[in-house]
Structure 1
Amino acid sequence: MTFRLRAAHPGDLEPLYEMAKLTGGGFTNLPADRNALAGKLERAEVSFARDEDSLADEQFVLVLENTATGDVRGTCQLMTQVGQRWPFYSYRLNTLTQHSQELERTVRADLLSLVTDLEGSSEVGGLFLHPNERAGGLGLLLARSRYLFIAMHRSRFADRILAELRGIIDARGGSPFWDGVAGRFFGMTFQEADYFNAINGNQFIADLMPKHPVYVAMLDDEARTAIGMPHPTGRAAMRMLEDEGFRHDGYVDIFDGGPTMTARTNDVKSIREARPARVASTNLDLGERAIIATGTLGTFRSAFGMRDFRPDGSIEIDRISAAALGISEGDEAWSVAR
């Protein structure tokens, strides 16, 4: 069974909607709302069609396709420049140190400050793999193919990149962090706020959220524990991001308190090591395991395969990946070691 990642198109709406219903909430980039998803696909179509090779406010949606059946079994997204339509809010965790000479005592307090520090960054997100396909490394294919896409279209992405990980969600689908912080001011449940944000954007945060820092010590235990913690299903994703060079520098999501990971775009391992080459042969029998990609924008596609570089810099790839990607001798292929 072979899978490939390809550019999404409006015809992918229904499978995306069916997957969105399986996320369990807290997944802003993949809301279970047909109109919102259709809007994402329409925006992606415009982004794929734009000819000018420069940074702009764009969104790309990719889908994982079973090449034998054509079924869509996963998805991921790339946003080139966040915070252009409305502010991109985060909480930044920092420490305030105060000292009293009279008491001879130093007190350090952790604060959550509402910031827009990450505006203008690119973002990778919206990664979801159908529960029945969570084997065989397909999550790795989804995640790392995004970086190949960026390497192949580098001028369309910013110099800093971020990834937001879903935070702790309790058994009833609520967020301890939301309940302990923002929920006190909004009179909305986490599910209501998360859904409203996914459909309408987060301007309501700017309108209603207090601008003063929040003292972490004043939060309840559950809210404090959730700060900067990924959802259990996101721990593997966090490790993959760390392996790529992303770090958690104290930024957390304003809704569920999940960690926001950041990196310099050119320092991301799969972007730095991505390598283009002319395809000299598609008959390789044994070689280095790799992720192989080809195409431009709307014709982008990637898959697992094998590669071997010749002394002249050209590349040999295996038959299966060549067939899945529609690659012939003489074509250009990008690849990164698996």
Structure 2
Amino acid sequence: MMIIRYIREDDINDIYQLAEKAGYGLTSLQPNLEILAAKLKRACDTVRGKLSKADQGYFFVLEDTSINKVVGLCGIEVALGLSEPWYNFHVGTQVHSSKTLNVYKAHQTLFLSNDHTTCSELCTLFLDPDYRKEMNGKFLSKIRFLFIAAFRNIFEKRIVAEMRGYSDEVGNSPFWDAVGHKFFNMEFRKADYLSGTGQKSFIAELMPRYPLYVDMLPAAAQEVIGKVHPNTLPAYKLLLGEGLRFQGYVDIFDGGATLEADVENLRSIKESTVLPIEIVEAATLNEAEPYLISNDHYQDYRGLLIQHDPEQKNIQLTQAQAEQLKVAQGDVVRVLSLNPKEHKA
């Protein structure tokens, strides 16, 4: 059975293996045991109520209970930029005109920004390639929205998600080569690693404070501004379905799009509901569809992906499912269709 739960400190070895598989570009998941251990402790301390808002971050894992192995993880940062600056580029417009010469030109610019300070962030989504099947990816990503719906008061009014930008099969980024490399004099992978390990002071020290004109960049760099890595495209489309949109902000390293939304406009806030459960030997379903369900127990949060008939007024679970979800007959669970109504598959 596949379940989602909070990350634990004893998951460190499985998380390290996932980090090794993540490859280039996933800044927040680096194969460094010391840094990963600190990340796991911070996540656990968040649930324990030991941290201030500036340091809080929730991390969830997808566990294959048949082999007791963590095969994916995802996270939510509560508030960005409160303990250290949060940077991105805002894609803006600079107009130059001359009535004398009858010239009017509008140029795209990149301006270093801290505009997403205090936003919550969807982060660190990674699923073992062997488990990229049977809706596991959607399950892992979307459980965060169900958690936000259950504990709305924890998070900020606006939420963002940085998408991995384009890089080639060996980790070269045309955007980095044209922009970051000129100011940092290091390879993309090294800058990406330093940022992912919390060493971000060099960004403020070395990045330009004045707008960069996009027209002055090589064509290869211009073409990837606001684009996402091919491997990230499914996650990008998934977030669009949940209500996030591109509003002109991109990553300072690889130019990848940042998506954002007001939390009150997320599909999970509008459509999730709470239903009682019924323990059955086997579910009797007529028109079954995939649904996310969670127990809404803050100290021991659990989520499952089940088949549910939306016409039914309760949720049918087997005893094994109920035990994994840590609920009993008559308890209620939070429910959300896996697929947006207009895109059900």
Q: CA deviation at 1:82?
A: 0.8
Provide the secondary structure at the position in 1 that maps to 2:197: helix
Supply the AA of the counterpart residue of 1:299.
D
Instruction: State the partner residue of 2:213.
Output: 215
Q: CA deviation at 1:210?
A: 1.3
> Sequence identity, in percent?
34
Instruction: State the partner residue of 1:89.
Output: 87
Question: 2 CA distance for matches of 1:282 and 1:251?
Answer: 49
Instruction: State the partner residue of 2:337.
Output: 337
Instruction: State the partner residue of 1:102.
Output: 100
Correspondence 1:128-277 to 2 at 5 A = 128-277=126-275
TM-score (norm 1): 0.94
Q: CA deviation at 1:177?
A: 0.8
Q: CA deviation at 1:189?
A: 0.7
Provide the secondary structure at the position in 2 that maps to 1:29: coil
Q: CA deviation at 1:331?
A: 2.0
Instruction: State the partner residue of 1:29.
Output: 28
Contact kept in structure 2, 1:307 and 1:315, CA below 8 Å: no
Instruction: State the partner residue of 2:328.
Output: 328
Instruction: State the partner residue of 1:296.
Output: 297
Supply the AA of the counterpart residue of 2:164.
R
Instruction: State the partner residue of 1:18.
Output: 17
Q: CA deviation at 1:173?
A: 1.2
Supply the AA of the counterpart residue of 1:332.
V
Q: CA deviation at 1:309?
A: 7.2
Question: 2 CA distance for matches of 1:334 and 1:56?
Answer: 28
Provide the secondary structure at the position in 2 that maps to 1:304: strand
Question: 1 CA distance for matches of 2:204 and 2:139?
Answer: 36
1:156 and 1:56, CA in 2 relative to 1: closer, same or farther beyond 3 A? Answer: farther
> 292-301 or 256-265: which moved more?
292-301
Question: 2 CA distance for matches of 1:295 and 1:249?
Answer: 32
Question: 1 CA distance for matches of 2:56 and 2:175?
Answer: 30
1:22 and 1:331, CA in 2 relative to 1: closer, same or farther beyond 3 A? Answer: same
Instruction: State the partner residue of 1:78.
Output: 76
Following superposition, which runs of at least 4 residues in structure 1 exceed 6 angstroms of deviation? none
Contact kept in structure 1, 2:289 and 2:310, CA below 8 Å: no
Provide the secondary structure at the position in 1 that maps to 2:21: coil
Q: CA deviation at 1:226?
A: 1.4
Deviations for 1:268-295, whole angstroms, at most 9, x for unmatched residues? Answer: 1123212123324455321543111114
Deviations for 1:276-326, whole angstroms, at most 9, x for unmatched residues? Answer: 233244553215431111143341111111345789xx6222326434323
> 282-291 or 104-113: which moved more?
282-291
Gaps of 5+ in 1: none
Contact kept in structure 1, 2:279 and 2:316, CA below 8 Å: yes
Contact kept in structure 2, 1:148 and 1:270, CA below 8 Å: yes
Instruction: State the partner residue of 1:317.
Output: 316
Correspondence 1:276-287 to 2 at 5 A = 276-282=274-280, 284-286=283-285, 287=288
> 172-181 or 189-198: which moved more?
172-181
TM-score (norm 2): 0.92
Q: CA deviation at 1:124?
A: 0.7
Q: CA deviation at 1:68?
A: 1.4
Gaps of 5+ in 2: 339-345
Question: 1 CA distance for matches of 2:82 and 2:140?
Answer: 26
Question: 2 CA distance for matches of 1:51 and 1:151?
Answer: 22
1:155 and 1:216, CA in 2 relative to 1: closer, same or farther beyond 3 A? Answer: same
> 70-79 or 170-179: which moved more?
170-179
Question: 1 CA distance for matches of 2:299 and 2:205?
Answer: 37
Question: 1 CA distance for matches of 2:246 and 2:330?
Answer: 42
Instruction: State the partner residue of 1:113.
Output: 111
Contact kept in structure 2, 1:65 and 1:71, CA below 8 Å: yes
Question: 2 CA distance for matches of 1:106 and 1:309?
Answer: 56
Contact kept in structure 1, 2:54 and 2:82, CA below 8 Å: no
Supply the AA of the counterpart residue of 2:306.
G
